[in-house]
Amino acid sequence: MTKKQDFRTILNKVINTEDESHNTSSNDSFDQVMARARLGRRGFLKGSSSLAAAAMLGTSLAFVADSAKQTGKTAQAATNLRLSFNPVAKSIADTLTVPEGYTARVLLATGDPLKSNVTPYKNDGTDNDFEVRAGDHHDAMHYFGMNRAGNGWDASGSDRALLAINHEVCEDLGFVHPNGPTNYGSESTEARPAIEIDKEVAAHGVTIVEVVKQGSTYQINRDSRYNRRVTATTPCQISGPARRSPLLATAFSPSGERTRGTLNNCANGYTPWGTYLTCEENWAGYFNRREDDAVRTAQEVAAFKRYGIGNETSGRYNWSRADAAGNTDLYQRWDVSKTGSRPQQDFRNAANTFGWVVEIDPFNASATPQKRTAIGRFAHEGCWPAAAVAGQPLVFYSGDDARNEYTYKFVSAARWDPRDANRGMAAGDKYLDAGTLYAAKFNDDGTGEWLPLTLDNPAIANYADYAFADQADVLINARIAADAAGATKMDRPEWGGVNPVNGDVYLTLTNNVSSSSGRGVKTPLNAANPRYYADAKGETINKGNVNGHVIRWREAEGNHAATSFNWDVYLFGAKASAEADVNLSGLTDENDFSSPDGLWFSEAVPGLLWVQTDDGYYTDTTNCMMLAALPGTVGDGEAKMVTNKAVPINSDADQQVKTYMGQAASPTVLSRFLVGPRDCEITGITESPDGTVIFVNVQHPGENSGSATDPTQFTSHWPDGGNARPRSATVVITRNDGGKIAI
């Protein structure tokens, strides 16, 4: 085994805990699937026209007509849009490519100073002050326009703005350290230098930074009083129904009202009152809990298991095991073992204070970030708002990004009053602390239901596998509540968004691959997750839904607070060269992609959708990318019988699954706009109010490098070039003629 393989093996052990399946619930049983397969074979009309197909959907025919009625006016607006750029070719070059006639420039990379008195980042691991530098692994972000007075939010503000940027993790390779990380990985039992832990903790979280319009583009204003970091140590309040729950009591906050830090800030959301919602995704692997089951209650053990905090983990980064310099509870808090006689004496509950949506006011550094517990706790991918309508509840959609996890939505108890648009965090208290959390059930007939996660739901109140103490327990253990309610296991829900043109809700399902628990391997296929595709890559066969898909739905009567919906699959990722039962959307060289992850609807150009990839299955042909799309509407395609070859769950027999699809994706409505440098993912996008500038994040270029210090083993040197260590970065993209992006 070469040194390089050895290094990657260790890291892979660390990383692979992240998107593991911890869903052992019986939702979607094998019997149900067999019944479904039989029904499907009997019921499907081959070569049906879309009208006949719609008729087969029963309720859906009326629905299609209904959609056309609802979207009559706005669909017209959407069809007036045209993608005006030439598609970017697939590439494995170590460079970022945008279409001819566009310019991309690096705006803010890992370690770049946020203040004018901070020295330039040396990028050799010797800078230790991430509290005043951009964090690592840039992820979701949002543009908050500034008012003319320069003291608050104005969505249309274009001269000055604050960018809120998530920093999901700190590079596993340890590029931020002089010689890579010391005693890293769950196999290690040695202490880690506190100085390394401090740096990693500070590289997580959120950056708030001011950008100023200069000519047709934006520059960082390093003198702005708004520039700051929120990190994995920043004090946060816990708000909403779980505040003061005994399950949140720690030595830091015996009453369960506070915690320190936000972690794994992946996707995001934003509110109609100008605050930022950062979401805590893969936090479970940070906590240490060794040989602790015997002294924990059955409830605690069940909750730990369901959230992936095993009895053998030392935590991805070993943050709890600092050397003598780190002998304080700032480090000990990452150890969730029971060491005291009461929860108020240790950090046994610390993991319950992560996995939330965290509200931050970008314009008010003195406002404490609030963990909004009413929106539930899971690997919280994002929190995407439906349009706020006066007099109606506010609605936010979320995904839980792990294999076989669920889709959620939160409906506020309070009804939207536009006068709250300037109330900052006080509006958050009003709308985000009380409401109903739902999990989605995608039925095989193209309909769906939202299942309330409350103790009023008998399936939850009477759940045999876990006795919920109260609504706080339901929200803290939302995954278990969704198991009880009967939600549908999905192929790793990543980003979502609401089409401003017609209210359709989109959600990327990035992939579901595992030789032991992936889709079609142990988890049955279903209409909403209908594809199994074994893909040979290198020496291994990847089993499951390898290339992912994008599902979408329309809420009943266009009402986002409704409890039923109709869905179809907007797009299936695939190689253009794949056979028809794999390349179901008819992708071509201009738009083929794999593993959709980021997804965002432009607000400046209603109807324009961006799709970003985080892929490991097509990377022999192309680096990750971003595509521009002009989607139609739910129900604009037809029913489709998918033949899946040699499905393991079905004894390696072929299995047919009926699904519902949107229209095929010709290059006129889906086209590749950007290809990133090597071993990156493209994630996070926002725009100027006039749509002439977009900001895009490039995360972890060179993540498959064989060394953190030997440049000959780096797979990327982006963005600095030469022998430089690779860095994540925000890129600003403009069109050379000053026009709107993409159209």
Q: Does 400 bind ligand FEO (CB under 6 A)?
A: no
Q: How far is the CB of 169 from ligand FEO (least distance, A)?
A: 8
Q: How far apart are CA 420 and CA 53, in angstroms?
A: 46
Our CB check for ligand FEO shows the closer of 54 and 266 to be 266
Alpha carbon of 583 to those of 89, 103, 548, 593, 695: distances in Å?
Answer: 19, 32, 11, 10, 30
Given Ca ion, ligand FEO, none, residue 253, with its beta carbon under 5 to 8 Å by kind, binds none
According to CB under 6 A, which residues from 476 to 515 bind ligand FEO?
494
According to CB under 5 A, which residues from 505 to 534 bind Ca ion?
510
Residue with token string 């070059």: 93
Alpha carbon of 131 to those of 5, 165, 171, 205, 699: distances in Å?
Answer: 34, 14, 17, 10, 19
Tell me if 589 sits within 8 A of 90, measured CB to CB: yes
Report the residue from 597, 615, 636, 638 that binds Ca ion according to the rule CB under 5 A.
Answer: 597
Name the one range near Ca ion by CB under 5 A: 54-62, 325-333, 335-343, 614-622. Answer: 614-622
Our CB check for Ca ion shows the closer of 171 and 597 to be 597
Give, to the nearest 10 degrees, the angle between helix 478-485 and helix 298-306: 90
How many beta carbons lie within 10 A of that of residue 129, not counting itself?
A: 15
Reading the block at residue 212, the tokens are 């100023």
According to CB under 6 A, which residues from 259 to 278 bind ligand FEO?
266
Q: Does 168 bind ligand FEO (CB under 6 A)?
A: yes
Q: Rg of the Cα trace of the chain?
A: 24
Residues 6+ apart with CB under 8 A from 31: none
Report the residue from 20, 112, 433, 614 that binds Ca ion according to the rule CB under 5 A.
Answer: 614
Q: Does 615 bind Ca ion (CB under 5 A)?
A: no
Report the residue from 400, 401, 592, 687 that binds ligand FEO according to the rule CB under 6 A.
Answer: 401
Q: How far apart are CA 259 and CA 409, in angstroms?
A: 25
Our CB check for ligand FEO shows the closer of 509 and 578 to be 509
Residues 6+ apart with CB under 8 A from 268: 139, 140, 141, 142, 164, 166, 276, 277, 278, 279, 382, 383
Our CB check for Ca ion shows the closer of 102 and 384 to be 384
Q: How far apart are CA 639 and CA 633, in angstroms?
A: 15
How many of the chain's residues bind ligand FEO (CB under 6 A)? Answer: 6
According to CB under 6 A, which residues from 368 to 387 bind ligand FEO?
381
Our CB check for ligand FEO shows the closer of 168 and 292 to be 168
Q: How far is the CB of 121 from Ca ion (least distance, A)?
A: 24
Q: How far is the CB of 140 from Ca ion (least distance, A)?
A: 8
How many beta carbons lie within 10 A of that of residue 414, not counting itself?
A: 16
Our CB check for ligand FEO shows the closer of 571 and 741 to be 571
Q: How far is the CB of 195 from ligand FEO (least distance, A)?
A: 27
Q: How far apart are CA 186 and CA 317, in angstroms?
A: 8
Q: How far apart are CA 56 and CA 48, in angstroms?
A: 9
Our CB check for ligand FEO shows the closer of 494 and 535 to be 494
Our CB check for ligand FEO shows the closer of 289 and 380 to be 380
Our CB check for ligand FEO shows the closer of 169 and 211 to be 169
Burial 204-217 (b: 16+ CB within 10 A, else e): bbbbbbbbeeeeeb
Using DSSP, state whether 579 is helix, strand or coil: coil
Q: Does 281 bind ligand FEO (CB under 6 A)?
A: yes
Q: Does 703 bind ligand FEO (CB under 6 A)?
A: no
Q: How far is the CB of 402 from ligand FEO (least distance, A)?
A: 9
- Which stretches of the chain bind Ca ion, using CB under 5 A? 510, 597, 614
Residues near ligand FEO, by CB under 6 A: 168, 266, 281, 381, 401, 494
